[in-house]
């Protein structure tokens, strides 16, 4: 990493899902006070920035992605003053702060939606959202066949007869980005937070803002999914979204420091993804192809090559991500002997026996792979502890709207949101203070303490110390981070590449032991390297 590289080209960004990270006030829900108390931990982990999931005032129908007021912090998390203090303290630790912004929809409790409900059909207040009459003789059929990403139709009917669109839960009405108020309001929200010192934003559903004004039906076979002819899709990844982000870029550039955006944009191809990060557009976008790849050398190599080719083509850095608050934790994903490639627009629900030792070995190798690739990387809280998905949460504790909306066929995303274990003792494992009045909002497994920060600290074989060492080496080695990579010859099933002149990363995804190429020392390895041989599902960083 050269000192002149803008930070966002190769930052390691740690994702904080606030309600599950650390509970400062003892009510069983994580909050800003808890996060502030853990900043020294994050500093010692060696990350560059925090991405914080929505902290705004919200009725929490979708964990805060249903925002009622973008300029207020939800009392569950703290106050605006707490947020300002967090930003200042993080900066003192040399850690940047990126909140989430949610421009595709608001909460149904947002003042605009409440005004639209009160004003009635045909009113100007309804034009900020997507209200339509229904189809059929008495308007009892939804305006089109679009489906909610959480299950069921994307339309809800009001008692006054109008229907409104929600690509997610009914509590999350979609905004109409053809309305000038929507543009000015979000531009003002960006300035509100930029002037409070945030270093950028993660843009939620960045690919969803612009809809085909005709709201045409989707072909029946792909209702609710992205179609093959992606450009024609009536609500995903339409070219018009880029006009919005060009304006947002000029706003970020008005502020001093290097403010940066990262788009959550699910695009069908690396070309479509690269369009978000062209010059004058957003800075970075999550590269979900990496997360969706199977545990297979050929598949991973194709994803890496295609992503780098497309992003380099527009001058943007790559980002690499293995897990987040929406997907099965990768320790569990990799714990199935055969890891299926993720099918876009479908929930990932692998079946079959779970071998967490295998998943953990692969997760260690995947971390070394990710942190050696050119560009930036995301760590989801608990990745560094090797937390698995909690797949056996009792049904009566589930809170993700997917559980209800899927008619209880999909348990949803709560399994990757279980509160973090900090100490080894008993539940709540340091997540809440000793005198807490509330239990953690999701129950932690009885053995959660074995994976706690306390249990892993100082244990050289732990996932936590692997991450700490990897992040330290990455900071110290100018060949890592932004830049180029060169593949080295290796047998099928083995990935080997060079960064700079003196650094090589080798990942063994084959079923056979692999003799490491010539090297002067092993800088770091996922497991013991005996006689210069890398065991299956292991990775190593070499000095050459
Ligand atoms: C993507 C977010 O990551 C997810 O958690 C949320 O449910 C949807 N967008 C809707 O905002």
Catalytic one of 254, 305, 450, 476: 254
Q: Does some domain include residue 261? A: yes
- Cα–Cα nearest to 248, from 310, 186, 301: 186
Mention every residue, 6+ apart, whose C-beta is less than 8 A from residue 270: 289, 306, 307, 309, 310, 311
Task: List the domain range (segments joined by +) for residue 154.
Answer: 111-165
DSSP, res 516 = P
How would DSSP label each residue in 478-510?
Answer: TTSSSS--EE----TTEEEEEETTTEEEEEE-S
**pLDDT tens for each residue of 432-481:** 999 999 999 999 999 999 999 999 999 999 999 999 999 999 999 999 99
Domain identity same for 523 and 492: yes
pLDDT at 219: 86
How far, in Å, CA of 456 to CA of 323, rounded?
A: 20
> Which atom, in ligand 1's list, is nearest to the CA of 104?
11
Is there an atom of ligand 1 within 6 Å of 168 CB? yes
How far, in Å, CA of 189 to CA of 110, rounded?
A: 14
Three-class DSSP category at 13: strand
Q: Does some domain include residue 156? A: yes
Domain identity same for 203 and 160: no
Domain identity same for 522 and 493: yes
Three-class DSSP category at 99: strand
Residue 500, Cβ density class (10 Å: 0-12 exposed, 13-18 middle, ≥19 buried): middle
**pLDDT tens for each residue of 24-37:** 999 999 999 999 99
Contact call for residues 453 and 41 (beta carbons, < 8 A): yes
Tell me the HSE value of 220 on the side-chain side, using a 13 A CA sphere.
0
Region 217-225 average pLDDT: 67
Q: Does some domain include residue 445? A: no
pLDDT at 223: 46
Which tokens hold the place of 244? 């919005």
Q: Does some domain include residue 134? A: yes
Domain identity same for 155 and 189: no
The overall average pLDDT reported for the chain is: 95
Question: C-alpha angle 450/292/420, rounded to 5°?
Answer: 25
**Protein residue closest via CA to atom 5 of ligand 1:** 326
pLDDT band at 343 (very low <50, low <70, confident <90, very high): confident
Which tokens hold the place of 416? 């990757």
Domain identity same for 196 and 262: yes
Domain identity same for 153 and 190: no
Is there an atom of ligand 1 within 6 Å of 204 CB? yes
* Whether pLDDT at 409 is above 70: yes
pLDDT band at 351 (very low <50, low <70, confident <90, very high): confident
Region 329-352 average pLDDT: 86
Tokens 């409104």 sit on residue: 164
Domain identity same for 132 and 202: no
Domain identity same for 125 and 190: no
pLDDT band at 226 (very low <50, low <70, confident <90, very high): very low
Which tokens hold the place of 21? 């990270």
Handedness of CA 417, 419, 383, 445 (dihedral sign): negative
How far, in Å, CA of 285 to CA of 288, rounded?
A: 9
CA 295 – ligand 1 centroid, Å: 25
* Whether pLDDT at 485 is above 80: yes
Strands 49-52 and 12-16: parallel
Q: Please report which helix (H) or strand (E) contains residue 454, including its range.
A: helix 453-456
Domain identity same for 146 and 188: no
Mention every residue, 6+ apart, whose C-beta is less than 8 A from residue 127: 176, 179
**Protein residue closest via CA to atom 2 of ligand 1:** 204
pLDDT at 13: 98
Q: Does some domain include residue 436? A: no
How far, in Å, CA of 483 to CA of 9, rounded?
A: 9
**pLDDT tens for each residue of 356-365:** 999 999 999 9
Percent of the chain with pLDDT over 70: 97
Domain identity same for 200 and 127: no
* Whether pLDDT at 538 is above 60: yes
* Whether pLDDT at 227 is above 50: no
How far, in Å, CA of 241 to CA of 279, rounded?
A: 15
Is there an atom of ligand 1 within 6 Å of 65 CB? yes
- Cα–Cα nearest to 162, from 196, 200, 215, 121: 121
Q: Does some domain include residue 262? A: yes
CA 65 – ligand 1 centroid, Å: 6
* Whether pLDDT at 402 is above 70: yes
Q: Does some domain include residue 192? A: yes
Contact call for residues 464 and 421 (beta carbons, < 8 A): no
Catalytic one of 31, 66, 125, 204: 204
Is there an atom of ligand 1 within 6 Å of 326 CB? yes
How far, in Å, CA of 244 to CA of 203, rounded?
A: 12
Bridge partner list, 521: 543
Strands 486-487 and 376-380: unpaired
Domain identity same for 194 and 133: no
Q: Does some domain include residue 193? A: yes
Which tokens hold the place of 457? 């600290």
Tell me whether residue 204 is one of the annotated catalytic residues: yes
Instruction: Residue 539: give its domain's CATH number.
Output: 2.60.40.1180
CA 172 – ligand 1 centroid, Å: 10
Number of domains in the chain: 3
**pLDDT tens for each residue of 117-162:** 999 999 999 999 999 999 999 999 999 999 999 999 999 999 999 9
> Which atom, in ligand 1's list, is nearest to the CA of 205?
9
Full-model pTM? 0.97
Domain identity same for 196 and 241: yes
Which tokens hold the place of 9? 């080209």
Instruction: Residue 147: give its domain's CATH number.
Output: 3.90.400.10
Which tokens hold the place of 348? 């990932």
**pLDDT tens for each residue of 68-122:** 999 999 999 999 999 999 999 999 999 999 999 999 999 999 999 999 999 999 9
pLDDT at 224: 45
Region 295-300 average pLDDT: 97
- Cα–Cα nearest to 234, from 209, 199, 203: 209
């Amino acid at each position: 990493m050269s000192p002149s590289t803008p930070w966002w080209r190769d930052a390691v960004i740690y994702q904080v899902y606030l309600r599950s990270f650390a509970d400062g006030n003892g009510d069983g829900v994580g909050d800003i006070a808890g996060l502030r108390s853990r900043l020294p931990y994050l500093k010692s982990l060696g990350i560059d920035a925090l991405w914080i999931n929505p902290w705004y005032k919200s009725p929490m129908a979708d964990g805060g992605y249903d925002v009622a007021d973008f300029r207020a912090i939800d009392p569950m998390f703290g106050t605006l003053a707490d947020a300002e203090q967090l930003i200042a303290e993080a900066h003192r630790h040399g850690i940047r702060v990126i909140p989430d912004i949610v421009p595709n929809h608001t909460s149904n409790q947002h003042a605009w939606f409440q005004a639209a409900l009160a004003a009635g059909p045909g009113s100007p207040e309804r034009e900020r959202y997507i209200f339509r009459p229904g189809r059929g003789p008495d308007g009892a059929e939804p305006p089109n066949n679009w489906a909610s990403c959480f299950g069921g139709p994307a339309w809800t009917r009001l008692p006054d007869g109008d229907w409104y669109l929600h690509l997610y839960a009914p509590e999350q009405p979609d905004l109409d980005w053809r309305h000038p108020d929507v543009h000015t309001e979000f531009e003002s929200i960006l300035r509100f937070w930029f002037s409070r010192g945030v270093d950028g934003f993660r843009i939620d559903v960045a690919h969803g803002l612009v809809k085909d004004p005709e709201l045409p039906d989707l072909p029946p076979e792909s209702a609710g999914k992205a179609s093959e002819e992606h450009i024609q899709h009536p609500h995903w990844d339409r070219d018009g979204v880029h006009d919005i982000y060009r304006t947002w870029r000029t706003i970020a550039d008005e502020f001093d420091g290097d403010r940066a955006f990262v788009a959550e944009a699910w695009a069908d191809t690396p070309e479509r993804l690269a369009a978000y990060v062209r010059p004058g557009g957003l800075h970075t976008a999550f590269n979900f192809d990496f997360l969706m790849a199977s545990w297979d050398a050929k598949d991973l190599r194709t994803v890496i090559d295609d992503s780098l080719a497309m992003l380099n083509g527009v001058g943007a850095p790559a980002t690499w991500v293995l897990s987040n608050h929406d997907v099965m934790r990768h320790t569990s994903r990799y714990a199935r002997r055969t890891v299926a490639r993720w099918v876009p627009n479908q929930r990932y629900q692998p079946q079959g026996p779970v071998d967490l030792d295998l998943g953990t070995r692969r997760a260690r190798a995947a971390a070394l792979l990710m942190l050696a690739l050119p560009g930036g990387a995301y760590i989801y809280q608990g990745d560094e502890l090797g937390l698995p998905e909690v797949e056996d949460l009792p049904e009566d504790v589930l809170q993700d709207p997917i559980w209800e909306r899927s008619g209880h066929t999909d348990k949803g995303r709560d399994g990757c949101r279980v509160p973090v274990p900090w100490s080894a003792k008993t539940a709540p494992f340091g997540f809440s203070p000793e005198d807490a009045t509330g239990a953690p909002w999701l129950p932690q497994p009885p053995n959660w303490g074995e994976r706690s920060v306390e249990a892993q600290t100082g244990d050289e074989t732990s996932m936590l110390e692997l991450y700490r060492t990897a992040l330290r080496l990455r900071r110290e080695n100018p060949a890592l981070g932004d830049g180029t990579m060169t593949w080295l010859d290796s047998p099928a099933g083995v990935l080997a590449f060079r960064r700079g002149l003196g650094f090589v990363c080798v990942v063994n995804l084959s079923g056979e032991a692999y003799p490491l190429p010539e090297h002067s020392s092993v800088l770091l390895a996922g497991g013991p390297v005996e006689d210069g041989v890398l065991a299956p599902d292991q990775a190593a960083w070499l000095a050459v």
